[in-house]
Chains A and B, each alone.
Chain A
């Protein structure tokens, strides 16, 4: 327990700071508020790092909001898994904020409400990762969902508004199913506190608990866009402005995955493992279907969005393997690898689209010559997605394969290897096009250097993390 002065508790400030800069950005008016956001995110990075170090050293942190504890008040708690997710969120959001400040020119209608919505999104994510009861988790899920829908609609075109509505209905049905599950859990056990439920839900749990578990996981699968519930993701992530796509693909879909993992390892551990192979089967289907659609995609951002569908599949392969500790490490490493790489890749795609004035793979001819830094960033992110050493993607996939073979599930190892080959096909498809000679008529618009280098920083981080992955993988050892 951190017994520090409640007013200076980093846990509370990780939620309050983004709320503060989001509100400030809203008050400042359309398109304003980039600098407060960047300053706030830099502070949040430091807070999250500090928290991760404390938790990594064997502690946990908790905070009772306003001094009112459960059942009527709200308890917040941080263990290794939450600390890792908090770290990833701030570490991805800060470079993306620097990117977005240059991406949205003054007066760009797509950037009108980017800063307030992003602030509310980050506040919702941070609150989700530290919530210690199932109902507060529902509220934070909705906060994240509503802010994300607002960001998707920001482009303002009919396609974007339609994608936002499709996403809104999917996310509302998902959280509705989760809420019904929470209602059944409360009916059966009279509490929604994760810590209190832990010893109560046993192997002889009533049928109500099984239905609740099924509903909650199904709802969260819809929100994580696991195949076949991925239909809303490609239009939403592919159609949004590049900084938004990056935030959504890197962070938002991971939040509902985090919650599945949290339930699986925590309060519903007696119930959920019955679904382990179903999850792995859908994960494998996601890898094949997502990769196939990415290979066929016409638009660049659509290709990257389908790659997200595929990469999310790997996260679900770990569920039958959770008996071995390596599986959680693999899952967290894959969340980081994909988070950093996909943020970098969408950011690079944003540069390419701004420069070429079009969002197609075919339009990339000559990009390597004209935008070498951006294409290098795309290549590095691609390396992580393919799982080439020494990237963090390699570390994640290697850990899954090791855990699978140790338990005799060679089929999972085979899926991981096949998925890596398919990723190579769609990444190399983009790189090959970029290496072609540009048509004589092609002109490239100049692009701010900040955009290129922030994309590069994210992609390079996804590779370099592979060299320093051990400390990170030790963190979720401390799941409570």
Chain B
């Protein structure tokens, strides 16, 4: 088992934990952290699987850099929305959805 494969497996585990967190956790800050865990998991898989005979492949590294930029932007937007929601409702969880 190469190191790359170990990284990829760890990435898959992190991704699953992250998804479970985003879906199951109610606290919004922790959900944002879970999303970041999920993203990092996907990045590890991307870099790890592409590493053949322990030689790094530059293309997925460039992709991960792009992915990190996207993840930072998404995190910033999520934090801004959570702050806004907290200012409006004083809550750090999502209120129920109503049609009335």
Contacts and interface: CB of A to CB of B under 8 A. Distances in A.
Interface of A: 71-72, 135, 138-139, 142, 146, 149-150, 153, 156-159, 161-166, 168-169, 172-173, 176-177, 179-180, 182-184, 186-188, 190, 192, 234-235, 238, 297-299, 302
Given A173-B22, A176-B39, A146 B73 contact: yes
Contact of A71 (B8, B23, B59, B77): B59
A190 B84 CA distance: 43
Given A158-B89, A162-B95, A165-B28, A183 B49 contact: yes
B10 interface: no
Contacts of A159: 95
Contact of A298 (B31, B67, B82, B100): B100
Contact of B38 (A157, A173, A184, A187): A173
A interface, over-half SS: helix
B35 A169 contact: yes
Contacts of A139: 66, 70
Contacts of A166: 94, 97
B42 A180 contact: yes
B88 interface: yes
Contacts of A165: 28, 78, 81-82, 85, 94
Which bucket holds chain B's interface residue count? 35 or more
Given A163-B97, A176-B42, A186 B15 contact: no
A153 B81 contact: yes
Nearest to B5: A187
Given A153-B84, A161-B88, 12 more contacts: A139-B70, A142-B73, A158-B89, A162-B95, A168-B77, A172-B74, A179-B39, A179-B67, A186-B50, A187-B46, A234-B99, A299-B99
B19 interface: yes
Given A176-B42, A235-B97, A302-B99, A186 B78 contact: no
Most buried by A among B38, B43, B49, B99: B99
B88 A157 contact: yes
B77 A150 contact: yes
Interface in B6-29: 8, 11-12, 15, 18-19, 22-23, 28
A159 B88 CA distance: 10
Contact of A186 (B38, B60, B66, B99): B60
Contact of A142 (B22, B41, B70): B70
Given A172-B35, A173-B22, A158 B85 contact: yes
Nearest to A211: B12
B83 to A, nearest CB: 10
Contacts of A234: 97, 99
Contacts of B28: 165
B50 A168 contact: no
B74 A168 contact: yes
A183 to B, nearest CB: 4
B52 to A, nearest CB: 9
A173 B84 CA distance: 22
B42 A179 contact: yes
Contact of B22 (A162, A163, A169): A169
A192 B46 CA distance: 11
A172 B22 contact: yes
Contacts of B73: 142, 146
Given A72-B59, A176-B19, A234-B99, A169 B31 contact: yes
Given A163-B97, A168-B78, A184 B35 contact: no
B1 interface: no
Contacts of B77: 146, 149-150, 168
Contacts of B60: 183, 186
A159 B98 CA distance: 9
B63 A135 contact: yes
Contacts of A164: 81
B62 interface: yes
